[in-house]
Amino acid sequence: MTLLSENGAPATDRPAADRAARSRTRTLLRARELGIVLALVALVAVTAVANPRFLSGQSVRDLLLGASIMVVLAVGQAVVVITRNIDLSVGSVLGLSAFAVGTLLQAAPGTPVVVALLVGIGFGAGCGLVNGALVRFGNVPALVVTLGTLYIFRGVGFFWAGGQQINADELPGHFLAFGTASVLGVPWLILIGLVVLVAAGIVLRSYRSGRELYAMGSNPEAARLAGIPTGRRALAAFVVSGAAAGLAGVLFAARFGTIDAAAGTGYELDVVAAVVVGGVAVFGGSGTVWGAALGALLLTTIGSALPVLGIDQFWQQAIVGALILLAIGIDRLLALRVAAVLRRDAARSRTGGTS
């Protein structure tokens, strides 16, 4: 006699159907990431044909240095979006952390770079903790909370700066050198971006806490019933996003040298766009930090390529907006396709599994 589940389908068939659906989803996501790579290659090729200097060593280096900051932000944002939340305050946290570290280095020029990095990470994590606590204990949508803290953190930065800015000649030389220094020819900023990316990818893929974030995003109520501490996991996701933004603030300060209260303005929308374009579903539960990093690299390349091609800045914003709408449309199509597959498998199980 065949054992039946509550919905009438053979109990032994449901896990297999779910695994098959997940396998199809992963295949589609890989295809989407491959599409980003192909679009990136095509964009670089067209730009290089128009201006061969676009592929010069210094040009590529500058592009990757800029992308590394965006990748760090995108990884943190992806962790939050996977849980079906969003963090719009990352640009303000970046600017506030950069100014905090710059002020520290002004007061104590001998501060090691490692300490500056830890201070930035800690400062950003504190901001993320504020966001996460308001979302968890205030039971307020993350969109509303982080939109509010976007302006609050930015306002704190303007009040702290008092209309002043920190210039490169006011920062210690070893810190500015860190922004361009390399190890075996690879800049430190790129290495740090890769370390953050790989670490987040491993945790999300191979550790229970990471898999639980996907479960929360897929079905929050089911995750709670399964015993997943959704409140603590959401809080941790915001802390990770804040820490990533704080780290990006230190990298920003080392890269550009000049820091003011407006540092990081507009980054939040670029980061959300990178994550969504990279395949992280805005409704949570699917996507990877690898895709988010590819999205960040694509958008950074677009920002560098369009001026070379003589295209107005307006069109860059229009292209990013179109990519967001396209990504959301693809997410919706993927969701409908997976739902249809699950319904078809369930129907086959019911008709084929009789006692």
SS (H, E, C) 79-114: HHHHCCCCCCCHHHHHHHHHHHHHHHHHHCCCCCHH
pLDDT of residue 145: 94
Q: Round to whole Å and give the CA distance between 60 and 185.
A: 13
Please give the Cα distance from 9 to 320 (Å, whole number). 44
- Whose CA is closest to 262, among 118, 94, 78, 127? 94
d(CA 31, CA 28): 5
Domain at 63-337, CATH from 1.10.3470, 3.10.50, 1.10.10, 1.25.40: 1.10.3470
Cα–Cα distance between 312 and 172 in angstroms, integer?
37
CA distance 85 to 78: 10
The whole-angstrom separation of Cα 271 and Cα 299 is: 9
Which residues, other chains included, contact 280 with Cβ-Cβ below 8 Å and sequence gap of 6+? Answer: 78, 81, 82, 286, 287, 288, 291, 292
pLDDT at residue 164 in the model? 84
**Residue partners of 348: CB distance under 8 A and separation at least 6:** none
> Which residue do the tokens 């920002």 mark?
303
The encoded tokens of residue 318 equal 């229009």
- The domain locations on the chain are 63-337
List average pLDDT for each run of 10 residues in the chain, which is 355 residues long.
39 48 56 78 87 84 90 95 93 93 91 94 95 92 94 92 85 89 88 94 91 88 87 94 96 90 87 88 84 90 84 76 76 68 69 55
